Structure 1
Amino acid sequence: MLLTKFTHSCVRLEKNGTSLVIDPGSFSEVEEALDGVNLVLITHVHPDHYDAKRLTAALAENPELNIYAPQSVIDELAEASGEATDRLHAVTADSTLSLGPFEVKTFGGQHALIHPLIPTVDNVGFVIDDAVFHPGDSFAVPHGLTVPTVLVPLHAPWSKMSEVIDFIIATRATNVYQIHDALLSDIGFGIVEKQVTKFSEMYGTEYRHLETRESVEV
């Protein structure tokens, strides 16, 4: 399976001629990521993870496009498109989906706390083929499952570096690649990734930085 990283939290997975995109948000190259894609997974309603306007346009342009997301996202997309459609599918945590050649398991359920005065929203993490875990905005670790490749939210208003490191350690992943990184400068990457790399190695995990549009077999 081929994984391609786009800006921030957007990734594209390709397998057996089918492509799946996770979190094509407002910071990402949405049109490029969605080119030829018929399956989209969205972890939560925040705009850096899903661009309602561009996804609505994609639904209109591609009659084969199906989107799987928490109910709040589905409701917004249905309203934006002006009609209910059977191509919008609400998902919750602790379920399994068979989507073409992909088996998708869902975990988590709630966005990480930003501040006690800011209400939390639903957040669903996705495990693809028991091989790749995209947690969205959460450090919840899949229960009963060790996933060899984990995408780690490297930097966010709701996290600190110690939590990033502890999340990587808890997953016991073989390989880790960064997501949720659009707010970091080159200096910030250097500081955070130095520590993440060091502690990942201590626990037998290889951390590797992926550039935008860079692909890797997983």
Structure 2
Amino acid sequence: MKLTHYGHACVLMELPGDGGVIRLLFDPGAYSREFEDQVGIDAVLLTHAHPDHVDAERLGTLLAANPQAELVLNAHTRTALAGLLDIAPSRTRIVGPEDTFVLRGVSVEVVGGDHACIHAALPTVPNNGYIIDGSLLHPGDALDVAPGPVEVLLLPVGGPWMKIGEAIDYLRTTAPRLAVPIHQAGLALVHQKMHYGLLRDLAPEGTEITVLEHGVPQDVRDAAVSSSHNEGDRR
């Protein structure tokens, strides 16, 4: 399994599938960069409709360059994109919590339900989390507990809907082999580094925290990355 972080919640996952490597791109949003240059994408998975998770204009560019790619999203996000993005129904897969499907031999399980609460005065939106191949979880903007163990957790570390203590508790509850911090673009660099340090200090035994260097593919299947390769350590 290889992961490439394009900033914030946007992550490219590459893993073996039917006929070769399958490439799945999560949440290409407004705070992310350089994802639109990718080709050979099999599916783009959107967790919810907020612009930091889906930039309609650049998503359109990406899909035009990847005519074989499916767009996987919930009904609310599809409605929100209407008028901004013209996608053929044959390329669109509408899914919600408890749905499961297979992409080129790779299983996808949809979990979650709603975006975490920002404030009671604001409406919430539906949020899909995705478990890929039974091993990796991208939770979107929620900290819903996975129905079973996961090997790799893409862990949100900052946002108006959360505090770092909640991320630490979620990490301890999920207890993956590897946690990769995401959803960090709204934090100042000093706070990113502080949050990463707290996660490392308070992670459960057996969990490694790895901060991926922007745009650099990293094999995370067989072994945790040495801290000398972590973007946060180099900074």
1:41 and 2:45 equivalent?
yes
Other-structure match for 1:31: 36
The count of corresponding residues between Structure 1 and Structure 2 is 215
Structure 1's 114 and 63: CA in aligned 2 closer, same or farther, altered over 3 A? same
1:57 and 2:61 equivalent?
yes
**Structure 2, unpaired ranges of 5+:** 222-235
What SS does structure 2 have at the residue aligned with 1:112?
coil
1:166-177 paired onto structure 2 within 5 Å: 166-177=169-180
How far did 1:84 drift?
A: 4.9
Identity of aligned residues (%): 35
Other-structure match for 2:208: 206
1:51-75 Cα offsets, whole Å, 9 max, x none, are 1122233334433121000112222
**Structure 1, unpaired ranges of 5+:** none
In 2, Cα distance between the equivalents of 1:5 and 1:101? 24
Q: Report the residue type matching 2:143 in the other structure.
A: F
Q: TM-score, normalised by structure 1?
A: 0.92
1:101-156 Cα offsets, whole Å, 9 max, x none, are 3211111111000000111100000011011110000000112x100110100111
RMSD, aligned α-carbons: 1.6
Kept after mapping to 2: 8 A contact 1:18/1:101: no
Structure 1's 65 and 137: CA in aligned 2 closer, same or farther, altered over 3 A? same
1:1-218 paired onto structure 2 within 5 Å: 1-15=1-15, 16-29=20-33, 30-32=35-37, 34-82=38-86, 84-143=88-147, 145-200=148-203, 202-214=204-216, 215-218=218-221
In 1, Cα distance between the equivalents of 2:175 and 2:86? 44
In 2, Cα distance between the equivalents of 1:76 and 1:119? 14
Q: TM-score, normalised by structure 2?
A: 0.86
Kept after mapping to 1: 8 A contact 2:39/2:66: no
Q: Report the residue type matching 1:169 in the other structure.
A: R
In 2, Cα distance between the equivalents of 1:89 and 1:79? 18
Kept after mapping to 1: 8 A contact 2:12/2:26: yes
